[in-house]
Amino acid sequence: MTGDPDLDRRKASLRAKLKARRAEAAQANDGANGAAIATLAADRFMAAIPVAVGQIVSGYWPMDDELDPRPLLMQLQRKGAMIVLPAVQQGTRLLQFRLCDDLADLPPAGAYGIPAPAATATALVPDILLVPLVGFDREGFRLGMGGGYYDATLQGLRAVVDKKILAVGYAFAVQQVAELPHAAHDERLDWAVTERGAVRFASERQS
């Protein structure tokens, strides 16, 4: 919640519409999570965004109708990237990123039932974050589920970590809209990747 009732209502209305759009896209492409589209999106990412051996890439375990990033994460892992998955830290809005060596096995359920590596897994700071979303716009603003976890985490990392951190929205193309309502604390994406291609957004961080 943003503290602005009008903005919250507008976001909630768009969220419902875009979740329905996302569900339709997933079901229209080989069932849940759109397997064929996920493979195509992985190819789009690989063609557009360079990832070096040893770089740390944060993925996510797909929930509901989110675009499945595992085909991409497996490709990156084979090329020498280190893959981490986010875990909610109880009592905060900050995510911790834990090493995931085996993307074939479902991790245990963490906070709020979201699969995440165990607390004993190595925690790392990612170079690239694949960010799940409900919608995104042409300026790089993102609409999530409303919890604010990625916004808070990105804001914290970008403020204190001494390296460039890329936030890459990963979604079906139908999840893009012309413009999203946003608050001052909403963090912008650096890229968005869909089955139709990759788009880089202009921002002060890229100058």
Q: Which residue ranges make up the annotated binding site for substrate?
A: 66
Residue ranges for the known binding site are 11-15, 66, 142-150
Q: Which helix (H) or strand (E) holds 61?
A: none
Give the CB-side neighbour count of residue 98, counting CA atoms within 13 A.
Answer: 20
Residue ranges for the known binding site for ATP are 11-15, 142-150
Q: What angle do CA 77, 29, 129 make, to 5 degrees?
A: 35
Q: Which helix (H) or strand (E) holds 38?
A: helix 35-48
Strand pairing partners for 200? Answer: 191
- Distances in Å between the Cα of 88 and the Cα atoms of 155, 180, 200 are 16, 26, 28
φ, ψ of residue 137 in degrees (nearest 5): -120, 180
